[in-house]
Homo-oligomer: A and B are copies of this chain.
Amino acid sequence: MNDMERRRAPTRTDVARLAGVSTAVVSYVTNDGPRPVAAATREKVLAAMRELDYRPNAVARALRLQRAQAVGLVVPDVSNTYFGALARELSNQAFTAGYALLLGDSDDDPDRERAQIESLVSHQIDGLIIVSLAPDSVADVNGTPTVYLNQRSQPGQLSVIVDNEGGARLAVSHLVEHGRRRIAHLGGREGAPGADERRAGWAAALAAAGLTADPALVRTAEYSRVAGHEAAAELLTRAPRPDAVFVASDVQALGLLAAARELGISVPHDLAVVSFDGTDDAVFSDPPLTAVEQPVPAIAEAALQAVLGQAAPAAGGLVPVRLVVRASCGCPPGH
């Protein structure tokens, strides 16, 4: 017997026939309703299902019910640790709630993002979670409930938004408290999730400290190790060199750390660093990164609830973040 041969899967009709009941009863049993079934009958049906190794066809069910018991997720790059953690959390929470997860990687390309969305929507998903590259990506989703992460797009559009600006201010103020004065910013591309707000927070914190937000101290790059490395190499070789950097993502910070090492710049002594995300990347880097931590499970939960209609996300409410102090900012180990 080759398990690979695509034999026709048993259907509800087969089960009904074997159990000697109607197909409706099989339905009532598998769905526990909407009509009651006698215990003895139920037993017969269950036995037949076991015998045939029957499993309901989710596609037929989806067609009938107009919902697929599935949600979609589109991210710019799953191999980014933060998006990976988000996907993991979402997969787990969705699964627990009885939903499958369709994943679309937009590969940091707006066109592909749109195409991925189209594809997921055509699969009749019940909800769509988008971490978008383009804030105006209106994406006609054909009525599929959609929530944007870290993107305040159209009015009336659902979104769950992290306190990006507040987090950035936390980070930069902390650097100021360390006595740093030339605080640079290595940020995400304009329009990238959270990027603009994090930059605004950087500028606001500097202003509050009476420092100027020098545009020459800003670099933007894709959220990736490689891009962060490249941008950092440039930022750190200009004179006069910054004495601190607020980085908009852990992965970019990893790239910056590597660049600093190559240039013989000691972190935190010569250069204090605080990043954003707070994934395991921040915990195990050298030195460990002081970072604004995003509560991934809470974010995933909020997004899922928003999209599955259990609860609209608190309008205007921001997901709170906190600063987790490690070594890259210059705080003593004991802290």
Contact = CB atoms under 8 A, between A and B. Distances in A.
A299 to B, nearest CB: 14
B84 A79 contact: yes
7 contacts: A3-B156, A83-B84, A87-B105, A91-B103, A92-B107, A95-B105, A103-B103
- Tallying the copies of this chain within the complex gives 2
Contacts of A225: 280, 283-284
Given A78-B88, A79-B88, A154 B286 contact: no
Nearest to A98: B119
Contacts of A84: 78-81, 83-84, 87
Interface in A126-162: 140-146, 154, 156-158
A238 interface: no
Contact of A91 (B63, B105, B124): B105
Given A79-B85, A105-B91, A56 B122 contact: yes
Contacts of A120: 100
A112 B9 CA distance: 23
A181 interface: no
B254 A284 contact: yes
Given A62-B59, A143-B5, A92 B105 contact: yes
Interface stretch (A14-22, A182-190, A255-263): A255-263
Nearest to A85: B79
Given A4-B156, A88-B78, A261-B286, A55 B105 contact: no
A242 interface: no
Interface of A: 2-7, 9, 53, 55-60, 62-63, 68, 70, 77-81, 83-85, 87-88, 91-92, 95, 100-105, 107, 112, 115-116, 118-124, 140-146, 154, 156-158, 224-226, 229, 254-255, 257-258, 261, 279-280, 283-286, 288
A271 to B, nearest CB: 14
Query: Which 9 A-B pairs have CB atoms at the shortest separation, nearest pair first?
Result: A286-B286, A91-B105, A79-B84, A84-B84, A103-B103, A58-B122, A79-B85, A59-B124, A6-B143
A68 B279 CA distance: 35
A122 B68 CA distance: 11
Given A85-B79, A254-B284, A102 B102 contact: yes
A123 B79 contact: no
B143 A7 contact: yes
A65 to B, nearest CB: 10
Contacts of A255: 284
A55 to B, nearest CB: 5
Contacts of A70: 102, 123
